[in-house]
């Protein structure tokens, strides 16, 4: 056995998958009783999205899911991660159930199972029923309570066949972009108080939902997905090392601690106290976090890039944000002005300025292990956003193959080093709508031709991933 794990197969219970999210693929925005969402409205505000793109049609997965699942099956996909659109199930977020919405997801789940594809279901991937957004969204406890009801409806309706649940996708992103950068709904900028309040209600909703799930005794697993943005200092200077620590406390530990330890990190709490940003919370809410942390089965990691940080010495009265500065390319100060992200001359970046760093992932996984122990994890997103080259009609997405290959290699190594990773979901199964970058930034194994009736076509990576799955990664 080679010590790096080379020429070993991935463990037999490791799932090779790919992911999507309702708003980014489904389309059918007003079909079959679906209610309007925050994104249906926000994406129509001029300047908010690249070229004014929106999810009204997206890639029409709602009507073409059978064709899409058939292609995924042909690729040998073992699991498909997708999200349920809350407003299809409960059009106003909190009232009557829409039977047609349930029927759609029942069919989608059954279609996966027909081919032996394990459905891995995200309950919230950012499309919030508009009625709830208009009532204060995640800053209002009512949204958390409505989420708990909605999740119970999903567990009861789909839980006989769905055994893998993710409550939320990337709390730091939808709250950060929603309340600090204004680049996602509700489009509010620099409101730290609301930002922390919203994150707290999300953690509370998560804890309540897992309690309900476990009470139903459906014997599946449930967890949460976080973006994983490990922060590294640009050099060994003390102030920059401290800046990296500060970034990890705010961008990682604030999100992982309440889920895995049932409490918030002291370091962040002290800063919030000092700045007057502490959320309004009750003993009952804090106790719910404490009580239910042990019920959480896994953490999903969406890893695209690390961040390189240094101490920020510029003091701007107000930090200006735009769509462009909100797309995670390095070069901006943190929301509290403490550190800034830096583009480094010796690193490699994608066309959208995201660093390519499989090693950054491996180091980050060890950081998580050191803090949280042997927690079970899935890579719930990882992939390359690119404008894919087309040569003689073929989509030759070699850079994507390289990207995924390098990341799968470090995942194999990590497993060998004792990291408890149980699956890999490439982002994305099929080309889809990027929230802020339209259709230009492609991620899929399956190409969608927007000039030709949204026709599907297999990319080179489709065949490559099929081979990886067939050989269980032995050649990586
Ligand atoms: C993650 C989201 C996905 C997806 C991905 C790529 O944060 O969970 O929904 O959008 O990022 O992002 P982008 O489309 O901005 O490249």
Token representation of residue 463: 């065949």
HSE (side-chain half, CA atoms, 13 Å) at 165 = 29
Q: How large is the angle between the packed helices 358-372 and 398-416, nearest 10 degrees? A: 30
pLDDT band at 2 (very low <50, low <70, confident <90, very high): very low
- What is the whole-number distance in angstroms between the Cα of residue 380 and the centre of ligand 1? 11
Mutation choice for ligand 1 from 251, 386, 434, 440, CB with most ligand atoms inside 8 A = 434
CATH no. for 15-307+351-470: 3.20.20.80
What is the CB < 6 Å shell around ligand 1?
Answer: 21, 24, 169-170, 173, 227, 302, 327, 381, 385, 427, 434-437, 441
Token representation of residue 431: 């080309």
CA angle 284, 290, 294 (to 5 degrees): 135
Atom in ligand 1 nearest the alpha carbon of residue 24: 9
pLDDT band at 6 (very low <50, low <70, confident <90, very high): low
- First CA to last CA across the chain, in angstroms? 14
**How large is the C-alpha radius of gyration of the chain?**
21
Query: Which residues on neighbouring strands pair with residue 379, listed in sequence order?
Result: 301, 424
Q: Is 274 a catalytic residue?
A: no
> What is the per-residue pLDDT for 209?
98
Atom in ligand 1 nearest the alpha carbon of residue 352: 16
pLDDT band at 321 (very low <50, low <70, confident <90, very high): confident
Q: Provide, for the chain, the percentages of residues in helix, strand and coil under a 3-state DSSP scheme, each rounded to the nearest 5.
A: 40, 15, 40
358 in Cβ contact with 410 (< 8 Å): yes
> What is the per-residue pLDDT for 1?
43
pLDDT band at 175 (very low <50, low <70, confident <90, very high): very high
Q: What is the mean pLDDT of residues 269-298?
A: 98
Q: What is the mean pLDDT of residues 223-242?
A: 98
> What is the per-residue pLDDT for 317?
63
Q: Is 238 a catalytic residue?
A: no
Q: What is the mean pLDDT of residues 428-436?
A: 97
304 φ/ψ angles, rounded to the nearest 5 degrees:
-120, -40
The greatest distance separating any two alpha carbons of the chain, rounded to the nearest whole angstrom, comes to: 63
Q: What is the mean pLDDT of residues 242-267?
A: 98
- What is the whole-number distance in angstroms between the Cα of residue 437 and the centre of ligand 1? 9
> What is the per-residue pLDDT for 177?
96
- What is the whole-number distance in angstroms between the Cα of residue 340 and the centre of ligand 1? 21
Residue 101 in this model has a pLDDT that exceeds 60: yes
Q: What is the mean pLDDT of residues 194-218?
A: 98
Residue 316 in this model has a pLDDT that exceeds 80: no
Q: What is the mean pLDDT of residues 255-279?
A: 98
Residue 161 in this model has a pLDDT that exceeds 60: yes
> What is the per-residue pLDDT for 221?
98
Residue 407 in this model has a pLDDT that exceeds 70: yes
Q: What is the mean pLDDT of residues 129-148?
A: 98
Q: What is the mean pLDDT of residues 392-412?
A: 97
Token representation of residue 27: 């389309």
Token representation of residue 23: 């708003």
- What is the whole-number distance in angstroms between the Cα of residue 435 and the centre of ligand 1? 7
Q: What percent of the chain has pLDDT over 90?
A: 95
Q: Among 101-105, 334-338, 429-433, which is the least confidently predicted range?
A: 334-338
* Domain ranges for the chain: 15-307+351-470
Residue 4 in this model has a pLDDT that exceeds 90: no
Query: Which residues on neighbouring strands pair with residue 16, listed in sequence order?
Result: 424
Mean pLDDT of the chain: 96
**Cα 400 to Cα 386: distance, rounded to the nearest angstrom:** 8
Atom in ligand 1 nearest the alpha carbon of residue 328: 15
Mutation choice for ligand 1 from 49, 83, 126, 381, CB with most ligand atoms inside 8 A = 381
* List 26, 111, 170, 249, catalytic entry: 170
> What is the per-residue pLDDT for 222?
98
121 in Cβ contact with 83 (< 8 Å): yes
With CA atoms as reference, report the closest residue to 169 among 130, 121, 134: 121
């Amino acid at each position: 056995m080679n010590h790096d794990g080379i020429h070993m197969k991935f463990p037999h219970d490791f799932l090779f998958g790919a992911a999507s999210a309702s708003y980014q693929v489904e389309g059918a925005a007003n079909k079959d009783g679906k209610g309007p969402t925050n994104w249906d409205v926000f994406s129509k505000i001029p300047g908010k999205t690249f070229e004014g793109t929106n999810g009204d049609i997206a890639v029409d997965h709602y009507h073409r899911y059978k064709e899409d699942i058939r292609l995924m099956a042909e690729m040998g996909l073992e699991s498909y991660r997708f999200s349920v659109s809350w407003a299809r199930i409960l059009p106003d977020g909190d009232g009557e159930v829409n039977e047609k919405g349930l029927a759609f997801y029942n069919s989608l789940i059954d279609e996966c199972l027909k081919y032996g594809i394990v459905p891995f279901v995200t309950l919230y991937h950012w499309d919030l029923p508009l009625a709830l957004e208009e009532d204060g969204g995640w800053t209002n406890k009512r949204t958390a309570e409505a989420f708990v009801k909605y999740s119970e409806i999903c567990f009861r309706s789909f839980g006989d066949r769905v055994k893998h649940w993710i409550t939320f996708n990337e709390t730091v992103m939808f709250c950060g972009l929603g309340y600090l950068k204004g680049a996602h709904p509700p489009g509010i900028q620099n409101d730290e108080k609301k930002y922390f309040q919203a994150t707290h209600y999300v953690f509370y909703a998560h804890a309540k939902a897992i309690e309900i799930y476990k009470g139903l005794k459906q014997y599946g697993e449930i967890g949460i997905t976080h973006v994983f943005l490990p922060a590294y200092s640009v050099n060994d200077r003390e102030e920059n090392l401290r800046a990296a620590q500060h970034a990890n406390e705010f961008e990682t530990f604030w999100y992982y601690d309440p889920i895995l330890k049932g409490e918030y990190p002291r370091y962040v709490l002290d800063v919030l106290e000092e700045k007057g940003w502490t959320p309004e919370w009750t003993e009952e809410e804090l106790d719910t976090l404490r009580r239910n942390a042990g019920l959480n089965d896994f953490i999903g990691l969406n890893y695209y890039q690390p961040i390189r940080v240094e101490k920020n010495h510029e003091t701007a009265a107000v930090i200006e944000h735009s769509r462009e500065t909100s797309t995670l390319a390095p070069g901006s100060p943190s929301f509290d002005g403490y550190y800034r992200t830096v583009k480094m001359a010796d690193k490699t970046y994608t066309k959208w300025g995201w660093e390519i760093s499989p090693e950054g992932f491996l180091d980050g996984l060890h950081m998580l292990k050191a803090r949280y122990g042997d927690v079970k994890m899935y890579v719930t997103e990882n992939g390359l956003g690119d404008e894919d080259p087309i040569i003689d009609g073929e989509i030759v997405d070699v850079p994507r193959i390289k990207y995924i290959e390098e990341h799968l290699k470090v995942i194999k190594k990590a497993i060998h080093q004792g990291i408890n990773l149980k699956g890999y979901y490439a982002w994305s199964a099929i080309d889809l709508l990027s929230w802020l970058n339209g259709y230009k930034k492609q991620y899929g194994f399956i190409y969608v031709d927007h000039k030709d009736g949204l026709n599907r076509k297999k990319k080179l990576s489709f065949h490559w991933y099929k081979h990886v799955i067939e050989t269980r990664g032995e050649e990586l």
